[in-house]
Amino acid sequence: KSISIYKRGLQVDPNHPILQYNLARSYVATNADLDAFKAFEAALRAKPSWKDAVKEYSALLNKYSRTKESCEVIQKAINLYPTDGHLYYLLGKSFLVQTDYESAVKSFEKAISLDKTNPSYYEKLIFAYEREKKYFLVSTYYFQHYNLLIIIL
């Protein structure tokens, strides 16, 4: 039902980023991923800096092993917002899917340098260090992650 509502709205304004984004999310919810790709792409053409759309579109790309495209989408957003730690986190997650642990580590380290308060950044960095067998760094960041969780809770 929501899909038909968004499609009607897009007949009035076919480039409306919010309608395209919500249509894409509706397609994902109904497993119509091919249609979701098109809607996310339209939303990001209209508003390339939309971080929520970048996040969900990159996750969809990763789901289909289109990781290089995912990295390109995220990198475009990073070029617009170079101080947004969450974008580097998303980039790191795409590198993890590619098993490019070195690049993932660099991305997560950058995310942490920009925002030291997000425990998810530490968690993924620890995971990447484990894959690289850098256990000393795993223990170092594990304690930082643990201390951050204590502060949050």
SS3 147: helix
Task: Give tens-digit pLDDT for 59-94.
Answer: 999 999 899 999 999 999 899 889 999 999 999 999
Name the residue among 53, 58, 120 with its Cα closest to residue 94.
58
* Angstrom distance (rounded) from CA 96 to CA 55: 15
Chain mean pLDDT for the chain: 90
What is residue 132's predicted lDDT score, i.e. its pLDDT?
A: 85
- pLDDT at 153 > cutoff 80: no
Question: Closest by alpha carbon to 138, among 129, 146, 147?
Answer: 129
49 vs 37, more confident = 37
Percent of the chain at pLDDT exceeding 70: 90
Tell me the two tokens of residue 21. 């984004």
Residue 40 predicted with pLDDT over 60: yes
Burial code of 68-89, b = ≥16 C-beta within 10 A, e = fewer?
ebbbebbeebbeeeeebbbbbb
Share above pLDDT 90 across residues of the chain, in percent, rounded to a whole number: 70
Alpha carbon distance, N-terminus to C-terminus of the chain = 40
Are 128 and 92 in contact by the 8 Å Cβ rule? The answer is yes
